[in-house]
Structure 1
């Protein structure tokens, strides 16, 4: 194939990849930009609901176990429970994510419930398919599954790789423009909508190329579970009745923290099925957030025995690289500046989709 013919074929592939994924680029980009400040927005819009009275001065010693008992009583068939904000300060609600199974492939089975840790009162409750517990929680589930269950999770992974291919083919097609754009020698020609869309497409595409490639690839990688046959099969099998912990969740939790004194917990898994284990994950003091919460302590919930202590620094190279994927995808590894950058980067796929469509439309009409 001649060089010119190959370039034209590559350009057609780039165009069709962009057209096919266009609407999804917009939806995933916009939702991703919002979710960069997921925790902050949830607290802001629900500050009256989630700020609880701490007049009692201290959270009861058995608060975690009481929440666990309350959840398992209300939901007798759960795959598991996760305490997602163990770093909650005084006067803050406890948030728990519930994993359940309605034996349907087209719904992703997550739910959220929040407690007042002082009184055990339920502050909000509901599945992540609804706005009832939190719009941010609904948007989170939409972002990785389009609220279409396992098929949706597989679809977002597919679009992640097609969007990555679109970026790479665009980089090859416009390779001669890369250095010119990076050295500010390409400016937006405001002559008409055609020149504006063309120059914006090139400039935005080049400046966002690397970070978008990282975000698309990590998103694809984290949804690879949706291509495993066993995952789909498990979705159709009803969950067995809960097997509750035998040792107090509060005791196991504090024992785990004692086993790794420098652990700053970000996630606590509370098992409801015998095959699962109690686990505390988080950062270690002074650790770069880029390395993710790859430190953990696993416990046997029936006798309180420590099963495994895992430190990020001791993991194989492949596992350490993979641990960076989530922070790189969501932008939680830096301060406010990094998060703002991720918000703008999240808007670029939609802009590229719109300007790309306008360029395609110009060629069709001419």
Structure 2
């Protein structure tokens, strides 16, 4: 009896944790399966903005020149982020922010041909102002990220992600046979499906249990990484309690003098990056983005290095003072601190930015599996509920 009571509580916990999160996970799974191919689908829907013809012999134009052209076309906006990486066949994306005193921008994402400098178009990201093709994939991203409800939606999904992570552990524990001799050896049937002589309900139960076990590690990674995206007040204390992490940028000293403009700051940032690479023994593969948020006392240079996992956008970052160009901090995705290395793996496994097309396809199938597990769990509960009422 003492062994049966805890198991009964776990069964109850698994049931209600699953029911509370089922609708959210159904939506997250379906949208996530599409977002595994987010860039490809968006480009297929909007090729006039996202696809360009790359000249064979010409190098892309200076990103700072492209930045000036975008600012001239949108004088009501600022450009806190400067993309530095020109990919073959792809347009350059510039993200706008309103100037002080401007309440609203009609568009906030501008597409530029990095070889000709032509502005190809712009859209209001995540909205349908310019038709369903322009808004579909960004809106799906907003649904997946925050239920398209902003910070309240992110908080709700963060809580659901935490419930999901706990439920992953509870569900896996429940598949273990009750304590006794050769417990692990008797665990085998939980991984299998009964087909002969089994009714539809037993087959569905076996499928729900087995398909939750086989990809369990990936499902837990998706759950816990979702907590990192949406519920950092829980994720960071847990991870910092378990692992070491790198520090953020040091405080920049304000001297009250003139600040570096974007051209001079980029020169300084490149020099600091080269020095850091020699000192810390990493190799810079290419530059990704240069940025400075309004009012921030530093610039940030984002790079892709051999310490990165992300095959699309590097996550190596360094910060320099906005006044003197002094190096304020360096972040390496791998090899500098265990906690940052673990988080780098979690984030890239969630986003599907490593191992190319095979993992991209696996991630898309995983999204469908999450949706199916949620739906089947609700159905099994409903059937048992009906049976108990009849009894």
Give the TM-score normalised by the residue count of structure 2. 0.74
Deviation of 1:154 (Å):
0.7
1:80 touches 1:271 (CA, 8 Å); kept in 2?
yes
Moved more, 6-15 or 309-318: 309-318
Instruction: Report the secondary structure of 1:213's partner residue.
Output: helix
Q: 1:159 to 1:185 in 2, by over 3 A?
A: closer
Instruction: Report the secondary structure of 2:262's partner residue.
Output: coil
CA distance in 1, matches of 2:24, 2:80: 31
Q: Number of aligned residue pairs: give it.
A: 343
Deviation of 1:159 (Å):
0.6
2:298 touches 2:320 (CA, 8 Å); kept in 1?
yes
Moved more, 296-305 or 314-323: 296-305
CA distance in 2, matches of 1:327, 1:163: 19
TM-superposition CA deviations, 1:301-354 (whole Å, max 9, x none): 566555445444563222222222210212222122222221111111111111
Structure 1 residues without counterparts, runs of 5 or longer:
104-109, 229-242
Alignment correspondent of 1:209 = 216
Deviation of 1:256 (Å):
6.4
1:139-288 matched pairs, under 5 angstroms: 139-176=140-177, 179-181=187-189, 185-188=192-195, 191-225=198-232, 246-248=261-263, 251=267, 260=277, 262-265=283-286, 267-275=288-296, 277-285=298-306, 288=309
Instruction: Report the secondary structure of 1:172's partner residue.
Output: helix
1:244 touches 1:271 (CA, 8 Å); kept in 2?
no
1:163 touches 1:216 (CA, 8 Å); kept in 2?
yes
Instruction: Report the secondary structure of 1:147's partner residue.
Output: coil
The partner residue of 1:352 within 373, 381, 384 is: 373
CA distance in 2, matches of 1:306, 1:167: 43
The partner residue of 2:358 within 337, 340, 348 is: 337
2:194 touches 2:203 (CA, 8 Å); kept in 1?
no
Moved more, 158-167 or 184-193: 184-193
Give the TM-score normalised by the residue count of structure 1. 0.78
Structure 2 residues without counterparts, runs of 5 or longer:
102-106, 178-183, 236-257
Considering only CA atoms, is the larger Rg found in Structure 1 or Structure 2?
A: 2
CA distance in 2, matches of 1:244, 1:190: 77
Alignment correspondent of 1:239 = none
1:43 equivalent to 2:43? Answer yes
Deviation of 1:297 (Å):
3.2
Q: 1:314 to 1:157 in 2, by over 3 A?
A: same
Q: 1:14 to 1:244 in 2, by over 3 A?
A: farther
Moved more, 14-23 or 184-193: 184-193
TM-superposition CA deviations, 1:99-153 (whole Å, max 9, x none): 56999xxxxxx94321123444433323333144453222222211111000011
The partner residue of 1:112 within 86, 109, 130 is: 109
Alignment correspondent of 1:81 = 81
CA distance in 1, matches of 2:318, 2:272: 6
Q: 1:172 to 1:90 in 2, by over 3 A?
A: closer
TM-superposition CA deviations, 1:192-249 (whole Å, max 9, x none): 4312321111111111221101110011112234889xxxxxxxxxxxxxx9972327
Instruction: Report the secondary structure of 1:324's partner residue.
Output: helix
RMSD of Structure 2 on Structure 1 (CA): 3.8
1:98 touches 1:111 (CA, 8 Å); kept in 2?
yes
1:189 touches 1:199 (CA, 8 Å); kept in 2?
no
CA distance in 2, matches of 1:90, 1:41: 17
